Amino acid sequence: MPKGHLMNQTDPQWELINPEGLVKFEAVKPAPRPGTLENKTVVMRWNGKANGDHYLNRVGELLLEKVPGVKVIRLWENHLSTASISQSPGESRGVAEKIADLGADMVIGSNAD
Amino acid sequence: MSIVTTEFNELSRTTMRTHGLNDMAFVVTQHPMGSISKEAIRARAEENFPEILEKAATWKPKRAESSGRDRALYPSEGISFRGTYKDVNDLFFENGWSTGLPIIPPTRSAVENMLRGTSHRPDEVLWVVPPRMGILTVELIAVHAVMAGCRPEYLPVILAAIEGMSEPEVNWGGAATTTGTVGPMLLINGPVVKELGIAYGQGAAGKGYHPNVSIGYAVNLIGYVVGGSKPPDMDKSTFGSPGDVVAWVFGENEEASPWESYAVEHGFKLADSVVTVKNVYPTVDMPDHTSSTPEQYLKWWSYVLNPMMHVPLGCANKPYFIVLCPEHAGMLAHAGWNKDRFRKALWEKTRVPLSAYSTGEDMCGIGPVPEELRPATPDTLIPVTLSPKDIEILVAGGSGKHSQYFAPGQGKVAASKRVDPWR
């Protein structure tokens, strides 16, 4: 009911269709976390936006300083084409496959401008 | 896990939910990331690092997984409402079912009448529209066509456009949520243009042409209401544009074009009615009133179109659409130029040196310098696209000397679909 709406019996009765429609979710279970990053492989994925690489570079340095045995891989140094916003599910799958090929235990991604 | 900025937190969480996750490991950092010093960015990473480390190692989802729909797709939910026409409009606007312009109330009888425009079943699902992931049936498309004031004979054009927009490579989800001023463009070719009275000549993309305006309104209502592309949290457009309200819709001026039409160039027959969709930035006007040779004309273009005005190269968006007015196209054709010669010359003349950007030798604006242009130096010439093939040429509009270009928004393709299968 719109705000302040006063129903008047002389007004027309409308049989309308809700234009919003239903939504479709395919339930996905999040991957379990490893408990520790020690001796694990962390792949960092940059979306190509300004300064995201500098941010992730510093995160990578800190991981190497503070986590024994961790291996840090900057995905964009292996595959420059992944340093962009995915344009389709197919492209996203391609990025995921490249990450999997690197043996990632954990992926850290940067998003937004 | 994902690191997001404060301004994109809500969009990230909604995107998470619409992809089936009830919870996800996010670390939120202050917006923006761009245009601040490298030292400040590194300090921000240090500040966020304890949370990053904790969430990367030990995060668990807070809520149980549950999702899905709880009622049938068809027929869509009904609403009984007593009130005036204005009250119906208020009801729709306040529920987020209209953009602010008036709508025609979608009554059951009006929708049934609209569905006479297609032989397709009303319960046929065409698309799950991002970012809201609303399920779009033929019936629901007819609802929006009614709301936008379309006639039943327009419905097949809208259905073909939706078929194109739903292609994953078109990336409507990106266009619907970007900070750019991106909206849909519908180019119409073939017999349907004259059959429906779709404007292709004077002022074709503007006002006063019922099919163009109402089809464009219907398409964008679907993106807003069913797709949920709503500012400020989901549609992140920094400024927005009227193209978010009514999509660009125009026919190609095939009779004034000296060359084959866009559709024929892309493998369709002259007898095919075709809708081509592409996410675009608003047009830029190219008002050359003086050039009499292609060389002079290209010089003008070189100052109007360049890669710094847009983000496509960094984002790999393509193609550009160059919409020549008939007088400009005629001048080129009179000099013996075809589309391909103009396309290649335009690509050559519209490059800028990498030094024009302030982002060093690794970045050209919004993204890294593509591998194809490396190793790059300050003198490396950056084109608007990696290949001249990613510049499309067509002819539309009427008399006057105003050509246009649409820079590509999200997506690596434009999708072309035949109208007849949707009749």
Q: What is the pLDDT of residues B114-134, one digit of tens each?
A: 999 999 999 999 999 999 999
Render pLDDT for B101-115 as a digit per residue (tens, 0 to 9). 999 999 999 999 999
State the smallest CA–CA distance between residue B131 and chain A in angstroms: 10
Contact A87 B171 (CB under 8 A): yes
Distances (CA, A) of B81 to B149, B218, B225: 20, 23, 19
pLDDT of B19 above 90: no
Contact B46 A62 (CB under 8 A): yes
Neighbouring residues of B25: CB distance < 8 A, sequence distance ≥ 6 = A30, A33, B1, B2, B55, B56, B59
Contact B42 A12 (CB under 8 A): no
Judging contacts by C-beta atoms under 8 Å, the chain A residues touching residue B412 are 87-88
Contact A37 B53 (CB under 8 A): yes
Q: Which B residues in the span 152-211 are in contact with A, Cβ-Cβ below 8 Å? A: 168-169, 171, 174, 179
Average pLDDT over residues B27-38: 88
Average pLDDT of chain B is: 93
Rounded to whole angstroms, the Cα distance separating B387 from B351 reads: 12
pLDDT of B403 above 90: yes
Q: Which residue reads 């978010």 in tokens?
A: B244
Query: Best of A1, A14, A67 to disrupt the B interface by mutation (most B CBs within 10 Å)?
Result: A14
Question: What are the start-end ranges of the E strands in chain A?
Answer: 13-17, 41-45, 71-74, 106-110
Q: Which residue reads 């927005």 in tokens?
A: B240
Contact B53 A63 (CB under 8 A): yes
Average pLDDT over residues B40-47: 93
pLDDT at B312: 62
pLDDT of B278 above 70: yes
Distances (CA, A) of B355 to B191, B218, B380, B381: 48, 44, 8, 9
pLDDT class of B70 with cuts at 50, 70, 90 = low
Contact A22 B134 (CB under 8 A): yes
State the smallest CA–CA distance between residue A2 and chain B in angstroms: 5
pLDDT of B45 above 60: yes
Other beta carbons less than 10 A from residue B191's beta carbon: 14
Neighbouring residues of B132: CB distance < 8 A, sequence distance ≥ 6 = A23, B14, B18, B226, B227, B228, B229, B234
Q: Which residue reads 């989901």 in tokens?
A: B234
Rounded to whole angstroms, the Cα distance separating B355 from B195 reads: 51
pLDDT class of B341 with cuts at 50, 70, 90 = very high
Rounded to whole angstroms, the Cα distance separating B227 from B180 reads: 17
Judging contacts by C-beta atoms under 8 Å, the chain A residues touching residue B139 are 17
* Of B54-58, B281-285, B360-364, B372-376, the least confident: B360-364
pLDDT at A2: 76
pLDDT at B64: 57
Judging contacts by C-beta atoms under 8 Å, the chain B residues touching residue A56 are 45
Closest C-alpha to B265, from B190, B203, B202, B335:
B190
Judging contacts by C-beta atoms under 8 Å, the chain B residues touching residue A80 are 368, 370-371
Instruction: Take residue B113 and report the two structure tokens written for it.
Output: 């009448």
Tell me if A5 sits within 8 A of B90, measured CB to CB: yes
pLDDT of A41 above 60: yes
Contact B134 A26 (CB under 8 A): no
* Contact with chain B for residue A44, Cβ under 8 A: no
State the smallest CA–CA distance between residue B194 and chain A in angstroms: 30
Tell me if B219 sits within 8 A of B155, measured CB to CB: no
Contact B56 A33 (CB under 8 A): yes
pLDDT of B15 above 90: no
Host H or E run for residue B45? helix B38-58
Average pLDDT over residues B332-345: 98
Q: Are strands B248-251 and B183-189 parallel, antiparallel or unpaired?
A: parallel
B38-58 and A52-66 helices, crossing angle to 10°: 50
Chain A residue at shortest CA distance from B410: A87
Contact A22 B31 (CB under 8 A): no
Other beta carbons less than 10 A from residue B93's beta carbon: 16
Contact A14 B80 (CB under 8 A): yes
B326-334 and B294-304 helices, crossing angle to 10°: 140
Q: Which A residues in the span 72-101 are in contact with B, Cβ-Cβ below 8 Å? A: 76, 80-81, 83-85, 87-90
Judging contacts by C-beta atoms under 8 Å, the chain B residues touching residue A21 are 76, 134-137, 140, 226
* Contact with chain B for residue A27, Cβ under 8 A: yes
More confident residue, B192 or B30: B192
Closest C-alpha to B328, from B285, B273, B383, B270:
B285
pLDDT of A29 above 70: yes
Render pLDDT for A72-87 as a digit per residue (tens, 0 to 9). 999 999 999 898 888 8
Tell me if B418 sits within 8 A of B268, measured CB to CB: yes
Neighbouring residues of B139: CB distance < 8 A, sequence distance ≥ 6 = A17, B74, B75, B76, B111, B115, B122, B123
How many residues would you count in chain A? 113
Average pLDDT over residues B160-165: 98
Contact B94 A11 (CB under 8 A): no
Neighbouring residues of B333: CB distance < 8 A, sequence distance ≥ 6 = B258, B259
Query: Best of B76, B178, B182, B364 to disrupt the A interface by mutation (most A CBs within 10 Å)?
Result: B76
Closest C-alpha to B297, from B261, B258, B341, B256:
B341
